[in-house]
Amino acid sequence: MKILILCTGNSCRSQMAHGFMQSFNKDLYVRSAGTEASGKLNPHAVKAMKEIGIDISHHTSDPVDQYLGDEWDYVITVCGGANENCPVFMGKVKHRLHMGFDDPSDATGSDEFIWSEYIRVRDEIKDAFSKFYKEEIEPEL
């Protein structure tokens, strides 16, 4: 099972989703990429995931172009920008889905509020991808 998770910068939401999917089943082939990959991970995203025992610090922020020639069972966009600007995977994707999440890096205010946004979005991603895994992926394995 091959799953590609897309976002705009590939530094936060797609990385969290990637980490969750890999934690649900180590045998899944999961990658994440960005339509405008930042080239680095968001340190708050890494910290938020580490807080619940998932290490994504070794992930890389990759441009989507490097995956365009591959075949995918699922391509999932996790932000509006990536959904609108997602390259067309002509005939190489069985299922294309969109699960939108707020970008916690856009949060402004106190440090506590900003951190709470990372936790909120992390937990929303966990819930959505856990449901997706149980309802869509597990039955296919």
What is the set of domains in the chain, with CATH numbers?
A: 2-140 (3.40.50.2300)
pLDDT digits (tens, 9 = 90+) for 25-81: 999 999 999 988 999 999 999 999 999 999 999 999 999 989 988 999 999 999 866
- DSSP run (H or E) holding 93: strand 93-98
Of the residues 3, 4, 6, 7, which is catalytic?
7
pLDDT grade for 84, boundaries at 50, 70 and 90:
low
Q: Which of 28, 86, 107, 128 is catalytic?
A: 86
The more confidently predicted of residues 44 and 90 is: 44
- Judged against a pLDDT cut of 80, whether residue 90 lies above it is answered with no
Catalytic hit among 78, 79, 99, 121: 79
12 is catalytic: no
d(CA 79, CA 94): 20
Q: What is the pLDDT of residues 92-114, one digit of tens each?
A: 899 999 999 999 999 999 999 99
Burial of 122 (0-12, 13-18, 19+ CB in 10 A): buried
Measured distance CA(112)–CA(104) in Å, rounded:
12
What element of type H or E holds 131? Answer: helix 111-132
Give the confidence band of 91 by pLDDT, cuts at 50, 70, 90. low
Measured in whole angstroms, the distance separating CA 73 from the mean position of its chain's CA atoms is: 15
